[in-house]
Structure 1
Amino acid sequence: MIVGNSECVWMYRLENNQIVLKDHPKEISHVNRIDSDGDILAVLTGNGTIYKLKVNENQKFEIIASDQVSPKPTNFNYSDGNIYCTYINRGRLLSFFDPYLQQNFNRLALWRGGWEIFKDYPLFGVGDIGIEKYYVHYKRPYDKEIHGHLHNNYFHFLATLGLFGLSAIMYMFIMIIIKISRIYKSTKGKPFIASYSLGALAAFVNILIAGLSELNFWDQEIATLIYFTVGLNVALFIRYKEETNES
């Protein structure tokens, strides 16, 4: 029996109905994961070193090979003589584009359902309400998640408000971007107000991009911050023009 913990790898054998410690190589410490393939044992340690071990005829560990991997893997698998390393950061980045990841699969199903609702109610949608009672009739039998919204601003606008509603909201979004951009151009180089305008523009565009995977514009806290940020930008610009005219 082979056991690994944060300190070392331990090998035990059952002899005369007693568990006897046979070996624990001191070269290997801070063990993260152990995997095996046949008679060969692979050990990943905390500093990113991977050891290949085998048990010799003296019932001792024999280190066949070792190598320090950079960047340090968070997990690995040993199969058919090959070691496959995985990295959490890379996995999270690639997971954005994995349609079979559970979160992505659920969102794609919601967006599909929203599109089907829109096709039946194209002009004005089903109304600005929770759409769960509609979604249950449009989802596929194996789509289990049921929400009152579609985790996407634009699919949700289409399903609830139709083309007219989406057009009106998109017009408002575009006009906000144009207004803030004009304020920034008019005040470029001026203390505070130019920086605030640029920050407000970046924040608003970020909200629109984030809305591709969340219904953030219908969130009261976020909507309040959006209106406050844009309104304050306009108010600062009006005050700036008044002070400029007075001088």
Structure 2
Amino acid sequence: MRLLRAGICSMVAFAVLAHGAVEPWSEAVLEIGAGLLLVLWCALVLHEENPEVNWNNLLWPLAGFWLIAAVQSLGRLTVYPFATHIEWLKGSALVLLVFLAVQAFQTADQWRKFVWFLLIFGFVVSLFAIIQHFTFNGKLYWVRELRFGGVPFGPYVDRDHFAGFVELIAPAGLSLLILRGERRELWPMLTMFTLLPIGALFLSASRGGIIGFLCEVVLLLGLVFFRRMEGKTVLAGVIVLVLVAGVVGWLGIGRALERFEQYRGLEVTESRRVEMTRDTWKIFLDHPVLGTGFGTLQSVFPRYETLYDGRVVNHTHNDYVELLGETGATGGILAILFLALLLLRSWRAMDAGRGSLELALHVGALVACFGILVHSLVDFNLHIPSNALIFLLQAILATSIFS
């Protein structure tokens, strides 16, 4: 399964570097890649004497979302069949990659290596983002024009989505440091790989991202002190927080505050977000059972828009309300089921842990999921394939009981 694990990591890296995999060509690569990895897994299983198919209960609500999209698309229960079909294909790739991850990652050591991959990759992406920020010429990777505008940071067209990426990887490093889940000789490297992305997050000046990260810190400290209240753990937590504050101060919290004001006119205002949420809620009230169809918000929204500001609305800047508008109460129930399973199963997994490493892996993954879920109240990170994929993989890690 080593080759399968490498393939999944490759898909994560590609999706992030391809601006989040939000364009047709990158979505197609993600879908084809998922299909090829499925073929690889089938070939590996056929060569085993006693093949087993592993399962994680989070796959049930994910399968439910996949089924909703299939019914909407094939049954023409959508206002825009083509858009829903595209979302169904994209969702199929994500669900398939998550299913394959359940098959490929079974032991604590395998998940540990995945977490290290995320931390190293996140460090490289964040370092690039900082360099690009200070040498920015108005183009992504210094060569690609921004055809539809945006406030880019790193490989992402929207700085909020870079912040979401960091929210999904940084808690793993913080958890390993505070809970001392790694060998002492690895602490300096782990510290570097963890702190630089956090500094880059603050440099991006994403308000939702910074708030989400601060919520992560609060939950992380709460979980750490609740699960393991020891003198060394408290000291490690204090040291890590001091280091985080030092990195943020070094990169310039003042610069981040200045960027808040600089980009105020370029981004969606708080009042506009509230209006979009209200208008999307009206869409849900008119389509309460199955919604208007996955991927149809941009097509439906103009009929419900109460405050037109000259911009096309393709997402509500609230993943939860947008989900209700596109999938109705059926999707809402599945979302509640997913979140309930995530909370209950992750707590059970923490209880079943057999050491500092396992506890650190579970705590870091759960905190990462929590941060992006908070951020999703004011943004649409879960509609960015790269971030959605990492979120789902972290959710699987948080709820996995290692063999």
- TM-score where L is the length of structure 1: 0.52
Amino acid across the alignment from 1:118: F
Partner residue of 2:321? 155
Partner residue of 1:3? none
- DSSP 3-state at the match of 2:387: helix
Deviation readout 1:114-165 (Å, 9 max, x if unpaired)? 0111111111110101311211011125443322211101110110011111
- DSSP 3-state at the match of 1:238: coil
Amino acid across the alignment from 1:192: L
Identity of aligned residues (%): 21
1:88-127 equivalences under 5 Å are 103-127=269-293
Pick from 179, 185, 193 the counterpart of residue 351 of structure 2. 185
* Structure 2 residue runs without a partner (length 5+): 1-255, 262-266
Query: Structure 1 residue 183: deviation in Å?
Result: 0.7
- DSSP 3-state at the match of 1:192: helix
Amino acid across the alignment from 2:326: T
Amino acid across the alignment from 1:205: F
Q: Does 2:395 match 1:207?
A: no
Distance in 2, Cα, partners of 1:124 & 1:114: 14
Q: Does 2:363 match 1:228?
A: no
Partner residue of 1:173? 339
Amino acid across the alignment from 2:284: F
User: Could you tell me whether the CA contact under 8 Å between 1:109 and 1:143 is conserved in 2?
Assistant: no
Query: Structure 1 residue 112: deviation in Å?
Result: 1.5
Query: Structure 1 residue 174: deviation in Å?
Result: 1.5
Deviation readout 1:178-198 (Å, 9 max, x if unpaired)? 1111111222x7121101101
Distance in 1, Cα, partners of 2:321 & 2:398: 29
Partner residue of 1:194? 359
Change (3 A) 1:185 1:127: same
User: Could you tell me whether the CA contact under 8 Å between 2:324 and 2:331 is conserved in 1?
Assistant: yes
Amino acid across the alignment from 1:212: L
Q: Does 2:394 match 1:238?
A: no
Q: Give the number of the structure whose residues are more often helix, by fraction.
A: 2
- TM-score where L is the length of structure 2: 0.33
User: Could you tell me whether the CA contact under 8 Å between 2:376 and 2:382 is conserved in 1?
Assistant: yes
- Equivalenced residue count is 147
- DSSP 3-state at the match of 1:105: helix
Distance in 1, Cα, partners of 2:386 & 2:268: 27
Amino acid across the alignment from 1:171: L
Amino acid across the alignment from 1:146: V
Distance in 2, Cα, partners of 1:102 & 1:183: 39
Larger RCO (alpha carbons 8 Å, 6+ apart): 2
1:68-87 equivalences under 5 Å are none
Change (3 A) 1:139 1:233: closer
Distance in 2, Cα, partners of 1:139 & 1:196: 44
Query: Structure 1 residue 234: deviation in Å?
Result: 4.8
Larger Rg: 1
User: Could you tell me whether the CA contact under 8 Å between 2:275 and 2:307 is conserved in 1?
Assistant: no
Aligned CA RMSD, in angstroms, stands at 2.9
Deviation readout 1:1-60 (Å, 9 max, x if unpaired)? xxxxxxxxxxxxxxxxxxxxxxxxxxxxxxxxxxxxxxxxxxxxxxxxxxxxxxxxxxxx
Distance in 2, Cα, partners of 1:89 & 1:123: 43
Query: Structure 1 residue 104: deviation in Å?
Result: 1.1
1:7-156 equivalences under 5 Å are 103-156=269-322
